[in-house]
Structures are given as C-alpha cells and as structure tokens.
Amino acid sequence: MAGNRAVTYVGSGKVEVHDIDYPGLELRDGPGVNPANVGRKTPHGVILKNVATNICGSDQHMVRGRTTAPEGLVLGHEITGEVVETGPDVEFVKVGDLCSVPFNISCGRCRNCKSGKTGICLNVNPDRPGSAYGYVDMGGWVGGQAEYVMVPYADWNLLKFPDKDRAMEKILDLTMLSDIFPTGYHGCVSAKVTTGSTVYIAGAGPVGLAAATSAFLLGAAVVIVGDLNADRLAKARSFGCETIDVSQGQPQDQIEQILGVPEVDCAVDAVGFEARGHGPDGAGVEMPASVLNSLMDLTQAGGSIGIPGLYVTGDPSAHEESAKVGSLSLRLGLGWAKSHAFYTGQCPVMQYNRQLMMAILHDRVQIAKNVDATPIPLEDAPKGYADFDHGAAKKFVLDPHGMIKATHPELAVSA
C-alpha cells in the first residue's frame, strides 16, 4: 500500500506536511470529524492519486486562526486526480480516469442535490447543510492537499475529462474547475452579469480574478476590479480589466472617473469577512462589513450583488465582538431602498464545471494565465501558504507526484 503525505493545519499561522493514513472507503475519526460521521462507509467512493490540488483563500482563513478549525486538520478542497481504486458500488467511474472534484461534497440523492443545490446537500454533514473536503465544520471529510484522497459518491461528484492526454496539456487550467473558476463564475451569474454589463469586482485575489475572467466570458462591457495590492491589480489589467486602488479613496469616486457615473450595473464581493476599509485612513483597518456596504453604495438601483466571498458564523479573532459570531453592521436599509438582490453561499460547482471545462478545452478562456497558476511541490506548501498570505499575485497549485512538472517542465518553478 502506498503512503500518504498531506498539508496539515498545526496552529495559527502555520501548516506542515505530515504523513497520514492512506485513504480507505470509510470516514475515520480524526480532527474535525463529526462524531456522527465516524465509521461512515463509502462503498460509492473512489481513491484518487492527486495530480493537482490548489491553495485557496478559504484555506488561509483557517490558517490565520480566523475560524474554529482544530489543529491537525488536513487541508485542501480544490482537487484534480486520477482514479486508482473504486468502491464496489461505483458503476461508471473507472480506474485510470482523470477527474475534477467539486469542492462541495454532495450525495446526489437529497431534495437539494436533485434541484441542483449541491452546495447545501442535506446528507453529508451532520452539523448543517453543505460540506467540503478539509474544511472546518464541514463534516470532517479528509482534505485533498495530499498525495491521495477519498471522494465519496464518485459517480455523482466526479467530472471526468474526456481525453486524458489533452487534459494533462491543460491541467493548470482544468485544476481551477474544482472551485475557483466556478466560484468566480457563480458570483457573476448571481450578480446577473450579461452582454454589455458594467461590473465592479471587489478583490483581486484568485477568486476575484476568476470572477473578472468570468465577467468577460459572460459578455460584460467593462470590468472594474478593486484591491489594495498593486501586483494583483496589475494582473487584472493584464487581461483587460480597469482597476482601482481602494486605499486611495472610496470605490464609487474612482468608478465615476472610469464610467462617468459613480455606479455599476452589478457587483461581486470576492473579499469576504476579512475585509478592510477604504481610503488612506481605512485601508489598514479591518472592517468586515465595508465591502458589502460599499457595494450597496455603488450598485445601481435594482441591481444584483453576488457574494462568493466567504462569511463565517464563528471568527474567534474578529476585531469586533459582534463579528465573532458572524454579525456585521450592514446598511441593509440602503440595499432594501435600492431594491438590491443579494446572493450568498457556496457555489454549486456542478451547475457550471462541465460548461467551463468545455470553454477551457476549446480555448475560449485562459483561466490559469489570468490567475497566474504556479505549480509547486507538495513539500513546499508551507512556503506557498506564507507567500500567498503576504499578497503574492499567484494561484499556487500543489504537484504531489510531479505529474505537472513532467507534463509542463517549463512551469515547474519554486514558490
């Protein structure tokens, strides 16, 4: 039996790569596993040899100590891999298939899954609706920043790539299908981005850049990205976005300089609960409601606001007491008066991943280039986390078995 190495949260601000058990077709006890899930059999599951598994901004929230994640939790929910073992109830997925794994685990059987709401499956997490690999309060399913991982309900969850060799040629694009690309796309779809839209995207991290890419794919006329990080803003400009530095002032004032009016048709929050304020005095201060309040200011009456940015029910390190339990000082009256629509929650990846796969395979989009996908060895994950936390304008892709390096040796660089 093969061994297994995995990225593990070991305390606030720190991850390490540890030896862990090779996965089996059963959910074992461990850090973060809900007691009701311990011993859960998964004959419908498969074991994947991970080809690519990405570091996500959502992981950073846990690593910074901004959630109730327990030490020892194996991280990682952005997974692409090759099937090496199938459970006895798996009918259609075969050993050797190269597949993308939606970050939300879903059963395919409950009323929510049957209506396409796979981000809030009712059967996989005893704590609450919705689940994910390697994430706090998500049921305890072992994370995928590892050499091997188990995927339950495989016939339902896995997206098989139709041509393995062709997929490996585009693996840095296709690895974004597990979360970041559908999440950015969902933010734009829920914001009602369409042909000719003017769009403001708060945040130029990987999800914000994925949302900007998606806005163009959906036909937006102008895509404006706001952030504090000059390198990330430069990356947004590299594929046609207008940008604003929110440390220089209120977003709507700078939007007016671009569009001639201080508002956009629709907006996307790709920042989440660790938001900072705006302007020279506010940019260095954490203000968890600042982005949402600014989006209500700058979105036209009747417009929609997509919120793929993460908000949590428990933030022990919040700067405001109310924010420690997820309560924010929202100007909801403003949003109500302007008849705004707000769309929150996990992206239901399966609503979009096949269509986005086809866009990648047929060269309609270059998501890896737009987010600067950067492969690094699994053992370099701690440095990748540190660099990302310091604002690196990159999307770090872990390469546990050197398969990306073997396919794209020119891209195999150290973080």
Q: Residue 152: name the closest of 167, 139, 137, 136 by CA.
A: 139
Take residue 297 and report the two structure tokens written for it: 């200011």
What is the pLDDT, as a whole number, of residue 413?
54
What is the pLDDT, as a whole number, of residue 312?
85
Q: Residue 51: name the closest of 406, 414, 409 by CA.
A: 406
The answer on pLDDT for 379 being more than 70 is: yes
- Of the two residues 146 and 327, the one the predictor is more confident about is 146
Q: What is the mean pLDDT of residues 366-383?
A: 97
The answer on pLDDT for 415 being more than 60 is: no
Q: Give the whole-angstrom CA distance, residue 335 versus residue 299.
A: 9
What is the pLDDT, as a whole number, of residue 326?
84
Burial of 280 (0-12, 13-18, 19+ CB in 10 A): exposed
Take residue 148 and report the two structure tokens written for it: 């091997």
What is the pLDDT, as a whole number, of residue 105?
98
Per cent of the chain over pLDDT 70 is 99
Q: For residue 176, what is the DSSP state?
A: G
Q: At what angle do helices 353-361 and 180-190 cross, to 10 degrees?
A: 110
Q: Give the whole-angstrom CA distance, residue 190 versus residue 90.
A: 34
Take residue 338 and report the two structure tokens written for it: 């302007």
Q: Give the whole-angstrom CA distance, residue 329 versus residue 8.
A: 34
Who's near 201: CB < 8 A, 6+ residues apart?
187, 208, 211, 212, 215, 223, 224, 225, 226, 267, 268, 270
Q: What is the mean pLDDT of residues 48-76?
A: 94
Residue 317 pLDDT grade (very low, low, confident, very high; cuts 50, 70, 90)? confident
Name the residue type at position 335.
G
The angle at the Cα of 182, spanning 48 to 246, to the nearest 5 degrees, equals: 125
Residue 412 pLDDT grade (very low, low, confident, very high; cuts 50, 70, 90)? low
Q: Give the whole-angstrom CA distance, residue 412 versus residue 67.
A: 32
What is the pLDDT, as a whole number, of residue 302?
98
Stretch (H or E) spanning 295? helix 290-298
Q: Give the whole-angstrom CA distance, residue 410 versus residue 325.
A: 46
The answer on pLDDT for 414 being more than 80 is: no
Ramachandran class of 146: left when φ > 0, alpha when ψ lies in -120 to 50, beta otherwise: beta
Q: What is the mean pLDDT of residues 42-56?
A: 98
Residue 407 pLDDT grade (very low, low, confident, very high; cuts 50, 70, 90)? confident
Q: What is the mean pLDDT of residues 118-145?
A: 96
Least confident window among 99-108, 319-328, 343-352, 387-396: 319-328
Take residue 59 and report the two structure tokens written for it: 């992981």
Q: Which of 63-67, 316-320, 368-372, 404-408 has the highest mean pLDDT?
A: 368-372
The answer on pLDDT for 164 being more than 60 is: yes
Name the average pLDDT for the chain. Answer: 94
